Each structure stands twice: as C-alpha cells, then as structure tokens.
Amino acid sequence: QVHLVESGGGLVQAGGSLRLSCAASGRTVSNYAMGWFRQAPGKEREFVATINWSGGSPYYADAVKGRFTISRDNAKNMENTVYLQMNSLKPEDTAVYYCAAAQRPWVRRPLEGDYWGQGTQVTVSS
C-alpha cells in the first residue's frame, strides 16, 4: 500500500508562487510515475503535470506549461517526495491539488492513478 500526503497549499495573490510537496510512504514508489492533478469546484479533475520514475521526461498540461515545474526526490529508500513549483499563479489555478502514483511510465489521466493523496487547497486571489 502507498500512502500519499500533499502539503504546501494556501492563499496567494495572482503572480505569486507556491511549492507543493507530496510525500509518499509505505511501499516504495521509486519505480512509479508520479503526477499532479487539480479539481476546481464544479469541474472534473484535470491533469497538471507528470514525471517518470527516474525523475525524467516531465510533461505538463498546456495551461501550466512554462509556469509550473514538477520534480521528484527518490533519495530516501522507502520515502519519496514529488514537488510542484508553481510560479506566476493565476486565479484560474485555484483548485484542490492532488498527487497520484501509478505503475506506468506516466500518469496523465485520473483513471491511470493507482494511489491518490487527500489533496491540498490552492487559492489564488486577483
């Protein structure tokens, strides 16, 4: 079993930055792809970014490309952390952000996630 815990959300003004973290524990996820998704009120959960098991080949949704950066730290044996650096935030980035882990090269669709965290709220004020 994999346990994912997100942190780092909060309230920020438009143009500001936040760094989200997702700590994975339990079964090792060093060979899992990791991804970030978000869900705004009344909307479906949408893909934000994904990274493969080695930390390479990051892939982003068009809406966040050039502003968000995904990275991961596999240094700890049974605990891995994936990050989402969010810069130049916009009000439309407001959502609950979730991380996901999947035993596949990437996780780009909600159905592809094998494990999910509980989410962290990001609110961007105009």
What pLDDT, on the 0 to 100 scale, is given for residue 77? 56
What pLDDT, on the 0 to 100 scale, is given for residue 76? 59
Contact 9, 120 (CB under 8 A): yes
pLDDT surpassing 70 at residue 90: yes
Average pLDDT for 83-97: 98
Segment 34-80, tens digit of pLDDT: 999 999 999 999 999 999 988 888 999 999 999 999 998 876 556 68
Residue 21 to residue 65: CA distance in whole angstroms: 19
Strands (E) in 8-119, as ranges, are: 10-13, 18-26, 33-39, 46-51, 59-60, 68-73, 80-86, 95-102, 115-116
